[in-house]
Structure 1
Amino acid sequence: MLAELRTETIATAAWTISAVHVRLAREREEALRAQQALRVIQGETNTPETEQESDAMTITQLAAALDVRPSTLRFWEQEGLVVPQRVTSLRARRYGTSAIRAARIVAALRSSGYGIPQVRAILDSLGRFDGLGATQRILQQRLDQIAMRTVALLRAGTDLAAVVTDDRQPAECATDLDGLAR
């Protein structure tokens, strides 16, 4: 990126670096949303499933609740991530409490950038003791990695400023920087 930015205007170089900061901020927000979803799910694990049986959902209802397409839920089912019950003679899908919980975890992790193999491993860990705690630790590690990348980008800012301003006259740099401040 530095080689490319050397030939760009200061405004373009600054915009490019700002876009990297924005991507990092989005990744952080997604990981924080996933963490919050897992906290809610963790609170639900203490509620007996029989009390929530009336909370079963159709594929359309669950897709709408998760803001995903029904085809996404079918794909997650094919991958063994979410297992609905089959009801009626048409074998329609019905998502009980455990399937809804799994779907929420999958949605949270997928929106945080985790691939299907990683999601599968995390879901498998949930079956073991302290599974939600392990998942929370994984998400915290992701947040820590994002923070380290952000700090590295901030540290590189000084070097980047030197690279993009090296071949320019002081007046040209001042004009470009003045335009950025507005």
Structure 2
Amino acid sequence: MGIVRFVDETTSGRRSDGWGLEIAEERLTVRELIRRRVFQEVAEYNARTPEVFQGLVQPQDAERVLNGYAMRRARRIGPEAQAELALEAFAGNGFLVLVADRQVTDLDDEIELALGTEITFLKLVPLVGGGWPPRRRNSSGWCTSSSTWSRPRTPSGSPRDCSRSST
């Protein structure tokens, strides 16, 4: 059992002070780690319901502001829906996960959580003017961006539209 430290960074160089989450297991998948982070963020937001949600990904019906995401109307956020958005964002390169400065690339990768492990979430900012990464479907049903090919699926395995932005 130990405290895992979550730190958010952006490509522009901004870095949060970070915060800790107690995790009993010594190993977790990236998927479960993201879920636990999001569930904690949502629980803290729902307990206070401030005007701005400061979490990993943008909730439905919210707009990006300087220090997070402003909710269009005061409401509670559903942890399952928010976790699904985060898993989709990871799968769509909306953010990278670095464990001890090593990138993990698959939701099913297992991470060893030694005492004091720091996990960095590097948030990638979409380019102005369209979804990111840019994708199109070819005649075989595969999506392509500049250098990768993939059959579009959400983290739960259901089909996803290539043009959908995940951030």
Q: Identify the TM-score tier after normalising by the shorter chain.
A: under 0.3
**Higher RCO (Cα < 8 Å, 6 or more apart):** 1
Greater fraction strand? 2
Given the two structures, how large is their TM-score scaled by the length of structure 2? 0.23
Given the two structures, how large is their TM-score scaled by the length of structure 1? 0.22
Greater fraction helix? 1
